[in-house]
Structure 1
Amino acid sequence: MRKAIVTGGAGGIGTAISTALAAEHEVIVTYQGQRDRAEALGLRAERFDLADPDGAAELLAATGPVDVLVHNAVVWPRGDWREALRANVEGSLALVKAYLPGMVAAGWGRVVLLSSGVARSGMRGADGYGAAKAAMHGAARSLAWDVGPAGVTVNVVLPGLTATPALDRLPADAVADVIAHTPLRRLPTPEEVAAAVVFFASPAASGVTGQELLVDGGRD
């Protein structure tokens, strides 16, 4: 059984990803402040702070090498947008680069980065968040060149607005407007986002790397 780690693996989308991967993988989920929620999944849980410069090295020391890295954790801007941008870009790249050597040495590996439809279509007041997520795309393309010869793939999944409990924080009319301008006339579910991640993490995706898959019901 291959070993997978899902950062932010106990959130709305993260839970669906962790659960789906657990069908065929030994899954480790990370949390920052909600340990109980992570442990409630019945999977191994490790603390990981994306904003901590030593976080990636400490997580690797705790878990050892993995076959699949799904990076779903994010630091939301709360005050200084520069700090959030630094954490999401530098922290994410540090995480991936910490785990890639083990995959290269093994001759097999899957990295799946969770971005956002905001990186492509934008959203009012989300410039720092959009910039951080867009950076994942450029990183994936270059990393794909670096590790492809070793049998390691790096891909990006971009969820659109997704039907999670977080929707309760948004104005109902804003959500209705998104649905009205979506070809499927509904929001994607966390399970549908997870299915895209599972594909990229599987042997079936061995010929796919440096790519992006948008899961937003066809809106973009």
Structure 2
Amino acid sequence: MARVALVTGGTRGIGRAIVERLKADGLLVAAGYSGNDEAAAECAKSLGVMVIKGNVGNFADCKAAVEKIEAELGPIDVLVNNAGITRDGVFHKMTSEQWSEVIRVNMDSLFNMTRQVIEGMRERGWGRIINISSINGQKGQIGQTNYSAAKAGVIGFTKALALENARKGVTVNCVAPGYIDTEMVQAVPPKVLEGIIAQIPAGRLGSGEEIADTVSFLAGERAAYVTGTTLSLNGGQYLVG
């Protein structure tokens, strides 16, 4: 019987690449999203996956989403916590709303989503939780104290949850991408983007497919002995500051 996966923020960018790869791997996949109905409809049509709307920063929304997915596809075996937002600004000018919104969507969402599925995974003796962090959660970034704090928290969450569930057949791992060729990155002014690429030893942006390949491995049987890890995919950028 095919395993069931839920990818939050799964209808665009890195999330969509992950959804496409897990579907190709033979999983039954649901893609979560929060607002872009057009992108969600296109994702559902072109990839043939279930899409589910809701706010990952809201516990009740997450509970309702998981209940709908499990009623249609079955118990969730693989959870990819990918949804995230940015509300950039230097800290001494940052508003409470900028801080709280990023923490709620990027950090609180891990509790809101994972809490819905962890008991079932433990009872069944099998589960894969994969959290998407960021290079900026590892090294920090000017103008992103909120985002960097949340993404660093993702790494700590991953390690602690991995320890709690290792004996139950549930692995918990983290992927920390660098700059990936998504719509969000392409929206960066060309000269700024050129400067970013110049700092990447590999000399290019990463692709969503490269992130998806890593998630695919972590979601499968071959990764049963891999837990509590953070895999960095940044073309060597972390090595040069």
The verdict on a shared fold, with TM-score over 0.5 as the criterion, is: yes
C-alpha separation in 2, matches of 1:2 and 1:38: 22
Q: Which residue of 2 aligns with 1:112?
A: 130
2:112 is equivalent to residue 100 of structure 1: no
Counterpart contact for 2:165–2:171, Cα < 8 Å: yes
Q: In structure 2, which of residues 171, 187, 195 is the aligned counterpart of residue 153 of structure 1?
A: 171
Q: Which residue of 2 aligns with 1:69?
A: 79
Equivalences for 1:4-19 in 2 at 5 Å?
A: 4-19=5-20
The answer for unaligned runs of 5 or more in structure 2 is: 89-94
2:31 is equivalent to residue 29 of structure 1: yes
Q: Which residue of 2 aligns with 1:189?
A: 207
Q: Give the deviation of 1:196 after TM superposition.
A: 0.9
Q: Which residue of 2 aligns with 1:40?
A: 42
* Deviations 1:78-116, CA, capped at 9 Å, x for gaps: 851123313432222121121111111111110000111
Q: Which residue of 2 aligns with 1:88?
A: 106
Counterpart contact for 2:30–2:50, Cα < 8 Å: yes
Q: In structure 1, which of residues 130, 138, 145 is the aligned counterpart of residue 156 of structure 2?
A: 138
Kindly indicate which of the two structures has a greater share of residues assigned to helix: 2
Q: Give the deviation of 1:47 after TM superposition.
A: 0.9
C-alpha separation in 2, matches of 1:70 and 1:83: 20
Report SS of the residue matched to 2:205.
coil
C-alpha separation in 2, matches of 1:87 and 1:13: 16
Equivalences for 1:121-132 in 2 at 5 Å?
A: 121-132=139-150
* Deviations 1:50-89, CA, capped at 9 Å, x for gaps: 2223122112211123110011111433851123313432
Q: Give the deviation of 1:183 after TM superposition.
A: 1.8
Report SS of the residue matched to 1:22.
helix
The answer for unaligned runs of 5 or more in structure 1 is: none
RMSD value over aligned CA atoms? Answer: 1.5
C-alpha separation in 1, matches of 2:67 and 2:105: 20
Report SS of the residue matched to 1:208.
coil
Q: Which residue of 1 aligns with 2:92?
A: none
Counterpart contact for 2:30–2:49, Cα < 8 Å: yes
* Deviations 1:31-64, CA, capped at 9 Å, x for gaps: 1111231232231011120222312211221112
* Deviations 1:147-192, CA, capped at 9 Å, x for gaps: 1111000000011111112223212222222222222111111100
Report SS of the residue matched to 2:148.
helix
C-alpha separation in 2, matches of 1:183 and 1:203: 32
Distance 1:83 1:187, change over 3 A: closer
TM-score of the two chains, using structure 2 as the length reference? 0.87
Counterpart contact for 2:6–2:78, Cα < 8 Å: yes
C-alpha separation in 2, matches of 1:112 and 1:53: 19
Report SS of the residue matched to 2:162.
helix
What percent of counterpart residues are identical?
Answer: 34
